[in-house]
Amino acid sequence: MKMEDLRLDLLPKLRIMAANNSGEQNHPWGGMSDKELSKSARLYGADRVTGEQGYNLAAVMLLRKDDVILDVVPAYLTDALLRRANVDRYDDREIVQTNLIESYGRLMEFGRKHFPDKFFLEDDQRKSLRNIITREMIANTLIHREYISSFQAKFVIEKDQMYVENANRSA
């Protein structure tokens, strides 16, 4: 895979996410070229067996177009389900089969749509418990995943609980 095969329009979003997560407005990725960022994030490197240099599976999952992701990881998808009235099936559903950057956004939006955001105050600042909980659940589901498994990941919101199901290997 070459740089031309990537969706470089997603790199500004990666830079913003890195700056927000680190708490630094001047995160090192902000001043790097796209190629330098790819190497720094370990999306680009050498194959240890063949010695060839190129982009790895992480780059495919983060920055590739949907059709290529499905060619490389055909079973990849996350099923977002709302089960409140119809608990045997679902009341709302979204099948997410896109790169991890856009998957995260779509799953967060599904959580915002269906999970209430009750008022919570910590010290003198309002916190969104819904956003904190869904962010952790969704990020961990997308990242800590066994991509070669055909098990479909699920993000489920029910009347009294919210949970994820995911194929992964414990470390």
Claim to verify: residue 114 and residue 35 sit in the same structural domain: no
Q: Is residue 171 part of a domain?
A: no
Q: Residue 158 carries which side chain, given as an amino acid letter?
A: E
pTM of the predicted model as reported, rounded to 2 decimal places: 0.84
Q: What is the pLDDT of residue 4?
A: 77
Query: Same domain for 48 and 130?
Result: no
Q: Which residues are within 8 A (CB) of 160 and not within 5 positions of it... i.e. 6 or more apart?
A: none
Q: Is residue 30 part of a domain?
A: yes
Q: How far is CA 29 from CA 45, 54, 60, 63, 117, in A?
A: 17, 20, 19, 16, 33
Residue-range definition of the domain harbouring residue 34: 3-64
Nearest residue to 105 (alpha-carbon basis) of 27, 14, 43: 14
Structural domain tally of the chain? Answer: 2
Q: Pick from 11, 31, 64: which residue ends a domain? A: 64
Kindly state whether residues 46 and 124 are assigned to the same domain: no
Contacts of 74 (CB under 8 A, 6+ apart): none
pLDDT tens string 6-63: 888 998 888 888 888 777 677 888 888 888 888 898 998 888 889 888 888 889 899 9
Tens of pLDDT, residues 56-91:
888 989 998 888 888 888 889 999 999 999 888 999
pLDDT (tens digit per residue) in 96-152: 999 999 999 999 999 999 988 888 888 888 999 889 999 999 999 998 888 888 889
Q: Are residues 78 and 120 part of one domain?
A: yes
